[in-house]
Structure 1
Amino acid sequence: MDRESAKTGKTFIGVSVVIFFSKALGFVRDIVMAFVFGTTLLTDLFQAIFSLPSLLFSSIGNALSFVNIPDLTFYLKHKTREERNRYLANLYAQVSLGAALISFLGIVFAPALARLIVPGMADQAFSLAVLLTRIMIPTLLFVTLTYITAGVLQVHGYFLMSAAISIPFNLLIIAALFLKGQDIIFLGYVTTIGWLLQFLIQLPILVKEKYQFPLSIDWKNEHTVNMFKQLLPILLGNSLLQLCLVIDRTFGTHLEEGTTAALGFGSTLFMTITGIFIIALSTVIFPRISAYCLEGDFRQLRSILRYGFKILVFILLPYLLLVVAYSQDIVSLLYERGAFNAASTQLTATAFLGYSFAVVGYACQELFNRVYYALKKFHTPMYASLFCLLLHLLLNLLWFRQLGIVGLAVSTSIALLVYALIMGFMVYRVIGAFLGADFWQFLLHLLLPVGGMVLCIVLGRHLLPAGIWTSFLLPLLVSGTVYLLLAWWIGLADEIKLKEEPV
């Protein structure tokens, strides 16, 4: 292994550890919030409005960062430092003006916006919703600046710093919850300040890299014009799951108290567990996907996709089995304390289980979209996402009254599954069959470890006495161990090693 490869490997391990710690701390933040608020009207209110910065605004920021990184890389390689500075200053200025204008309009029209976000709230809670919306709408400016700056840091190799920016944010929220308890207005202010802090702590790196920001705006800059043209397709194409979650929380305000809170806690638990693997894998293989697309090497591209799906099936199939068997036990262990009672556990476990079946679509959103973006085809994922978003909205309208929280969570899973089928077919049309006989053979071999896992779960349920250790943690540990041992015994470890196709 050469020195550069060794350095890359160490960087990946370090970034993976930081991302895991950041996500774990974010999950601790949710646990503390559940302890303080439970699944109450206040939590419903906060979860619905908090979905703007946490899901929608973050998606906008991610899209901006995604299209900025290759442009900034071009300026670093082919332009002078002054041209680089003008480009980034121009981008910051345009984004800041646009986000500030939208934030101002959001503050002015907060009553209408709050009615859109929490339409089912009673009149006595509506004034609180308006105030909370006005407090948190400026996060649009801070979130977009945060993600753009994180992309700049990644271009310059500061991967650990960009991965760690959410750590102080989560610590700030946790401290606010312990200090002020159920003061939701104070929590709204702290959330907005926390997003500003994530931006500010990155600024010393910009100073270190000698960025300067002249006070001028070039509205005709070719790269920023193209960036904003690509922004909407990337945002809509890469945010189906996030948009579905925002819509679900809005519909949840029409149902019993605590529904929106349970949807928020359940979806966060689902995305925290699965996102660690899905996002990490898509991030690691994206450079290869980009290289193969650039070279037109579709054989290697099919190979890397097949490898990615083998890894995800190997990890996420046992995840689904464990959620089906132990969703309520998992939620109870993690959340049930303080104001989060048994009824809260039941409601959240239902949402968690329903959302977990969206894992196939979530994985395909991350992998298939990256193929299309590497091929510079930005509109196909957008059209598929819009169709599935309309399907999700229709299912919510049909089911939310009759099926309640189950209908909302399951409609998201169905929309994501349809998205996976559409995008899988579209990718097949472009690059050919990418799964192949060896993938289906791999699934067939998985039946043995999966069968061993199911047997352990069933025996644990029927033979061991009730209790958190005996009927949940012990069978979970044993079933997971049996799964891994059987997979190793039949040689599946070799199946999930990345191999180049022979030339």
Structure 2
Amino acid sequence: MALWRSTFIVSAMTMLSRVMGLVRDVVLLGVFGAGKDFDTFVIAFRIPNFFRRLFAEGAFSQAFIPVLTEYKTTRTHAEVQILISRVFGCLATFMTLLTLIAMIAAPAIMYVYAPGFHDDAEKFALATDMFRLTIPYLLFMSLTAFASSILNSYGSFTTPAFAPVLLNLSMIAGALWLTPYMATPIMALGWAVIVAGFLQLALQIPELWRKKLLIPPKIDFKHEGVERILKLMLPALFGVSVTQINLLLNSIWASFMQDGSVSWLYSAERMTELPLGLIGVAIGTVILPALSARHAEQDQTKYRNMMDWAAKIIVLAGVPASLALFMLSTPIIQTLFQRGQFTLADTQMTALALQCMSAGVLSFMLIKVFAPGFYAQQDTKTPVRVGLMTVAVNAVLTLILIGVFKFMGWQEEHMALALASSGSALVNAGLLYFYLHKRDIFRFGTHWKKLMLQFLIANSLMVLALAYALTWYNGDVAEWLRVAQVLGLCMVGAVTYAVGLILTGIRPRHLRP
């Protein structure tokens, strides 16, 4: 039940963050629209955000948590404090240097990550200025991820899970109240990002202090724990962040496409992050410290059972989420974003991207369970091998699909990028499971045959119910009526799916860890 409680806490806080994130996107797209200025912000902010997920929440957390958990399980509290101190000092030093180098090299970095902007001098200059303004966010969030990893390892999930809410609140405030005072309105979002990074770090400090884990930093790259973390982290830099690498590569491709392409992909991606964050990230956040502890205790039975439970919850939620996002793409995008500068054409283009991305939702979620199965055992090489293959698949799919769209004369080229992301995610999840199965770390048992039949029936009922309910949807009505219609559609889908699960014999006790 401890896993359920922790998952519920993380999921609840993530739900709050995602809801506020949707409010944020509604505000931002209403104020700025899906045009040139917002494209520059998305690209400029995606780069520090990418490195945050790559270094901080990605490779660093996956390497640090297993080592910290082992120290906590097998060593004294004083030794744990020394480890925290040395990691703190090394991480802060490295990220500070990286931030300064990035600020100096901003034009070159922007040329690499958004080469399509170079043909528009004004757009390129704005994106470069925005990047310089937002890159310190990387330093703040690296230290925030460090603090969150410590708290998660000690079973404290509420504060770290709540922290992202502050980013959404800060950006909403920047768009609504700071924009009128800026010579270049979109730059208000850059200042809002910096404030949010500071606030998210500050939020972690009181709880670390209460747990006597707020230790002054000391630089010592020769410390045994630091060396182990670095050895695990270097390959994990690639393996754990394949999804982010592919999304960043998509941004590069999108920079060559028509204005609005980056924004359409961003908006669609934000919608897929709702189920991914509520279930996938929540389960992944909770399961890594628990799996690391089971590995330290050499309890392989509990290890496999824990992964089986996590996979069950992922499939339970991921399949209906994927189907619902595909079927309800236009009503959802129209209701959330179509106002102000965000037009009907933007809705149609974003809905197409969302339909393509929805195909990869389940795979993205399963990766959050399968990857920790390796990292908890301090195996970072296997995910790297899988990651290399996945990036190659994404690149090949992207080239093929863009070629097909150009050959056919289709203007919706951004769909090719979304389809490639979904396809590469499927390959990523499939290969991770292949190696888990091959090494007898985890495999779907015979009980999954019955589960899959039950899930199939419940999801089929949901699809039929949504198909019928969609015939009543009318987007040409007042905004509040559109909201009511979408809420009604979501309710129809959720209730039908729940009834389907009950009719097939699934009960809450079957979902216990």
Aligned length: 493
Correspondence for 1:69: 65
What RMSD in Å do the two structures reach over aligned CA positions?
2.8
Q: Against the structure 1 CA distance between its residues 494 and 473, is the aligned structure 2 distance closer, same or farther, given a 3 Å change threshold?
A: closer
The Cα of 1:331 is off from its aligned counterpart by 0.9
Of 39, 44, 53, the residue aligned with 1:49 is 44
- What amino acid sits opposite 1:490 in the alignment? T
Deviations 1:412-463 (A, max 9, x none): 111111112211211111117722332122222334333322322333344x
Of 486, 499, 503, the residue aligned with 1:485 is 499
Q: Which whole-Å CA distance do the structure 1 matches of 2:71 and 2:465 have between them? A: 57
Q: Greater CA deviation, 96-105 or 302-311?
A: 302-311
Equivalent pair of 2:134/2:193 in contact (CA under 8 Å): yes
The Cα of 1:212 is off from its aligned counterpart by 6.7
Correspondence for 2:97: 101
The Cα of 1:57 is off from its aligned counterpart by 1.3
The Cα of 1:73 is off from its aligned counterpart by 4.6
Q: Which whole-Å CA distance do the structure 2 matches of 1:202 and 1:471 have between them? A: 40
Correspondence for 2:369: 367
Q: Against the structure 1 CA distance between its residues 39 and 81, is the aligned structure 2 distance closer, same or farther, given a 3 Å change threshold?
A: same
Correspondence for 2:450: 441
Of 225, 236, 240, the residue aligned with 2:242 is 240
Q: Against the structure 1 CA distance between its residues 295 and 457, is the aligned structure 2 distance closer, same or farther, given a 3 Å change threshold?
A: same
Q: Which whole-Å CA distance do the structure 1 matches of 2:465 and 2:361 have between them? A: 24
Q: Which whole-Å CA distance do the structure 2 matches of 1:213 and 1:274 have between them? A: 33
Q: Which whole-Å CA distance do the structure 1 matches of 2:203 and 2:451 have between them? A: 46
Q: Against the structure 1 CA distance between its residues 369 and 179, is the aligned structure 2 distance closer, same or farther, given a 3 Å change threshold?
A: same
- What amino acid sits opposite 2:190 in the alignment? G
1:345-384 alignment, distance < 5 Å: 345-384=347-386
The Cα of 1:395 is off from its aligned counterpart by 2.5
Equivalent pair of 2:48/2:137 in contact (CA under 8 Å): yes
Equivalent pair of 1:238/1:365 in contact (CA under 8 Å): no
Q: Which whole-Å CA distance do the structure 1 matches of 2:461 and 2:246 have between them? A: 35
Confirm whether residue 466 of structure 1 aligns to residue 474 of structure 2: yes
Deviations 1:278-299 (A, max 9, x none): 1223344445544554566655
Equivalent pair of 1:381/1:423 in contact (CA under 8 Å): yes
The Cα of 1:180 is off from its aligned counterpart by 3.1
Confirm whether residue 497 of structure 1 aligns to residue 511 of structure 2: yes
1:197-212 alignment, distance < 5 Å: 197-210=199-212
The Cα of 1:102 is off from its aligned counterpart by 1.6
Confirm whether residue 119 of structure 1 aligns to residue 115 of structure 2: yes
Correspondence for 1:405: 414
SS at match of 1:120: helix
Correspondence for 2:146: 148
Q: Which whole-Å CA distance do the structure 1 matches of 2:307 and 2:259 have between them? A: 43
Equivalent pair of 1:384/1:422 in contact (CA under 8 Å): yes
Deviations 1:40-98 (A, max 9, x none): 01111111111123333133112323333344455556666665544333222222221
SS at match of 2:55: helix
The Cα of 1:213 is off from its aligned counterpart by 5.4
Q: Greater CA deviation, 130-139 or 142-151?
A: 130-139
Q: Which whole-Å CA distance do the structure 2 matches of 1:496 and 1:210 have between them? A: 39
Q: Which whole-Å CA distance do the structure 1 matches of 2:83 and 2:295 have between them? A: 27
Q: Which whole-Å CA distance do the structure 1 matches of 2:82 and 2:302 have between them? A: 39
Correspondence for 1:27: 22
Q: Which whole-Å CA distance do the structure 1 matches of 2:45 and 2:441 have between them? A: 42
TM-score (norm 2): 0.87
Equivalent pair of 2:265/2:414 in contact (CA under 8 Å): yes
- What amino acid sits opposite 1:332 in the alignment? Q
Equivalent pair of 2:88/2:218 in contact (CA under 8 Å): no
Q: Greater CA deviation, 39-48 or 446-455?
A: 446-455
Q: Which whole-Å CA distance do the structure 2 matches of 1:264 and 1:137 have between them? A: 19
Equivalent pair of 1:263/1:348 in contact (CA under 8 Å): yes
Q: Which whole-Å CA distance do the structure 2 matches of 1:32 and 1:53 have between them? A: 22
Correspondence for 2:427: 418
- What amino acid sits opposite 1:484 in the alignment? A
Correspondence for 1:279: 281
Equivalent pair of 1:361/1:420 in contact (CA under 8 Å): yes
The Cα of 1:328 is off from its aligned counterpart by 0.9
The Cα of 1:143 is off from its aligned counterpart by 1.5
The Cα of 1:152 is off from its aligned counterpart by 2.4
SS at match of 1:492: coil
Deviations 1:229-263 (A, max 9, x none): 21122232211112211111121110010100111
Q: Which whole-Å CA distance do the structure 2 matches of 1:341 and 1:243 have between them? A: 30
Equivalent pair of 2:55/2:142 in contact (CA under 8 Å): yes
Deviations 1:284-341 (A, max 9, x none): 4445544554566655554444443333222222222222222111111111111111
Unaligned stretches of 5+ residues in structure 2: 406-412, 476-481
Q: Which whole-Å CA distance do the structure 2 matches of 1:449 and 1:219 have between them? A: 53
Q: Which whole-Å CA distance do the structure 2 matches of 1:176 and 1:50 have between them? A: 15
SS at match of 2:116: coil
Unaligned stretches of 5+ residues in structure 1: none
The Cα of 1:214 is off from its aligned counterpart by 5.6
TM-score (norm 1): 0.89
- What amino acid sits opposite 1:417 in the alignment? L
Equivalent pair of 1:15/1:159 in contact (CA under 8 Å): yes
Correspondence for 2:35: 40
Equivalent pair of 1:249/1:264 in contact (CA under 8 Å): no
